[in-house]
Structure 1
Amino acid sequence: MKSSTPALFAAGLLAQHAAAHSIFQQASSGSTDFDTLCTRMPPNNSPVTSVTSGDMTCNVGGTKGVSGFCEVNAGDEFTVEMHAQPGDRSCANEAIGGNHFGPVLIYMSKVDDASTADGSGDWFKVDEFGYDASTKTWGTDKLNENCGKRTFKIPSHIPAGDYLVRAEAIALHTANQPGGAQFYMSCYQVRISGGEGGQLPAGVKIPGAYSANDPGILVDIWGNDFNEYVIPGPPVIDSSYF
């Protein structure tokens, strides 16, 4: 990931931006491939760059629902899938390329009706992968290694019903300047059955969970002294929910 000539490398990154943009698109659970049935698809693969924008919730146009639901059971594994171009699920292509290194985060929000909810409720984090300094591996590297897929567990100890699942990747290749971080997210409409009920975890508002000056958002990942990354937002909910 490192470069001995950061200035030249950064200049090269600028030329790769458009080709490296990406979208969270498909979903699956176990042997069930939902494709884009429950995905609130963004209009294009461009990022959101303002942490205070309403587009941070579910991307551009993402506060409007779609007709489909992904139906799963509490405790099931759920997989979100990112690819650079709409409909392209080829594993031969990087999920998000162009040195768009950064974390991958998954949030959930309990809603009355996932097909109409605007995402203005509370969100709790259920999964994340930031940076492994020992292997110099980012969450986005993991996506690329796994054909764009990130799998997490639906919590077992939450109420049944409708939820929005928010999958997000943050590209940090130009995050050494304010507004340089790029946020790629999509929301999925998920209906959860079964489980052992319980109370919802404490949540945060999105936008509202991030600040432009957070150390995981305003950060120089190309500096020679970079060896630790602080993932933005709240921590993953307590293991007792799973």
Structure 2
Amino acid sequence: MKATGLAIAAASVAGASAHAIFQKLAVNGVDQGTSCIRLPQGPSANFPVTLVSSNDIRCNVGGSNGVSGVCSVPAGGTITVEMHPTYSAADQSCSVEAIGGAHHGPVQVYMQKVGDATTADGSGPWFKIYAEGLISGYNAGYWATDRMNDNCGKVNVAIPAGLAPGNYLVRAEVIALHAAFQTNGAQFYITCYQINVTGGGSATPSGVLLPGAYSPTDPGIYWDLYRSFSSYPLPGPTVYSGGSGPVSSTTTARTTTTAAATTVRTTTPSTTRAATTTASTTRATTTSSAATTNGPGVSAPLWGQCGGLGWTGPTNCASGKCVSTNVYYSQCQP
């Protein structure tokens, strides 16, 4: 596969609803606005990071730069991070999947103790306070992302009661696995929040560095979503003992608008996206739906690669049809 800068301009048009952004925050049910959220910007704001060795894996492209606000959260309180496909008001409806296109995968939340949340770049140690992956089934199964979609994009997370007070970064991520059967195929949708924890205790959990905690070949990152499995290994460290799994919430029934899945892009070192990153993600998207002719060979799985310039693998699809997304990549789609 090969990505070009031209694809960035098409991001808001082609496949945009199949990507997503964590973009809202509530504290104990009260909306906090956006002043304390490091929101991704530009036409590729809802595109994922795929290079786990990039500094972008911390807080997304441009996320090392802080914003002016810091939201107050009591230790032991509940924050709600909320995802939607775009910033458009039309995409905030519960009838639209928070992350569509069969983007199944885990939801994880990390924290990092910092001196000043408005200037911290995320280079310190992160500890995990929340993680949910495969809930039931297989091929493709019911995942944390599906539960999030059923709850209108909301994920409720308990802030550990014993944390030392002070400024923290909160990092919310979805890892979409629909193309994770290939190296650098997992898609990381990340947003960081700036908070100040009040009350609490004296706990300062140890953590891991990002980049560093993830490898492209980790079992939960390099993963074939469309094979038989009964469990899923969550990437990264274990949840801090004072952290949580899912916090109970009311799930709202919805009529789903489902978007077609788009494929992962390659990533190359670049300095054109953000001066603070060492290797920014080059973002590309699908621009056409022209069907290709299936050739002989072993069948590729749904959402698997089935063609493209230099491709030597299977060109038949076990399900659906082989669709050309660009000259370098074709994919089995329903």
Deviation, structure 1 residue 133: 2.7
Mapped contact 1:40–1:188 kept (Cα < 8 A): yes
* Comparing 126-135 and 34-43, the one that deviates more: 126-135
Hey, what's the Cα distance between the residues in 2 that align with 1:64 and 1:137? 35
Kindly provide the CA deviation profile for residues 42-64 of structure 1, in whole angstroms up to 9, marking residues without a partner as x: 12100001010110000000000
Establish whether residue 94 from structure 1 lines up as the match of residue 97 from structure 2: yes
Q: Which residue of 1 aligns with 2:77?
A: 76
Alignment pair present for 1:32 and 2:30? yes
Query: Which has the higher Rg, Structure 1 or Structure 2?
Result: 2
Task: Show the counterpart of 2:221.
Answer: 217
The answer for the alignment partner of 1:176 in structure 2 is 181
SS of residue in 1 equivalent to 2:208: coil
Q: TM-score, normalised by structure 1?
A: 0.89
Structure 1 gaps, min length 5:
1-15
The structure 1 segments of at least 4 consecutive aligned residues displaced by more than 4 Å after TM superposition are: none
Structure 2 Cα separation of the partners of residues 121 and 128 of structure 1: 20
Match of 2:170 in 1: 165
The DSSP-based 3-state class of the residue aligned with 2:120 is coil
Structure 1 Cα separation of the partners of residues 37 and 145 of structure 2: 20
Name the amino acid aligned to 1:210.
Y
**Which has the bigger relative contact order, CA under 8 A and spacing at least 6?**
1
Residue 122 in 1 paired to residue 122 in 2? no
Indicate the percent of aligned positions where both proteins have the same amino acid: 52
Q: Is the 8 A contact 1:25 1:35 kept in 2?
A: no
Cα distance, 1:91 vs structure 2: 1.2
Aligned: 1:156 with 2:161: yes
- The answer as to whether partners of 1:157 and 1:241 remain within 8 angstroms in 2 is no
Deviation at 1:37, TM superposition (A): 2.2
Residue pair 2:112, 2:122 contacting (<8 A) in 1 also: yes
Determine the C-alpha separation between the residues in 2 that align with 1:85 and 1:125.
Answer: 26
Cα shift at 1:230? 0.6
Partner of 2:151: 146
Counterpart pick for 1:201 among 205, 209, 234: 205
The separation in 2 between residues aligned to 1:146 and 1:240, in whole angstroms, is 21
Taking the aligned partners of 1:239 and 1:159, their CA distance within structure 2 comes to 12
CA contact (8 A) 2:128 2:243 kept: no
Q: CA 1:162/1:176 → structure 2, altered by over 3 Å: closer, same or farther?
A: same
Structure 2 counterpart of 1:120, one-letter code: S
1:226 positional shift = 2.3
Pair 1:87–1:117, CA change in 2 (3 A): farther
TM-score using structure 2 length: 0.65
Give the deviation of 1:239 after TM superposition: 3.5
Match of 2:196 among 191, 195, 202: 191
Deviation at 1:31, TM superposition (A): 3.5
Cα distance, 1:179 vs structure 2: 0.9
- Give 2:235's aligned residue: 232
CA RMSD of aligned residues (A): 1.7
Q: Any stretches of 5+ residues in structure 2 without a counterpart? A: 1-13, 246-334
Number of residues of Structure 1 aligned to a counterpart in Structure 2? 225
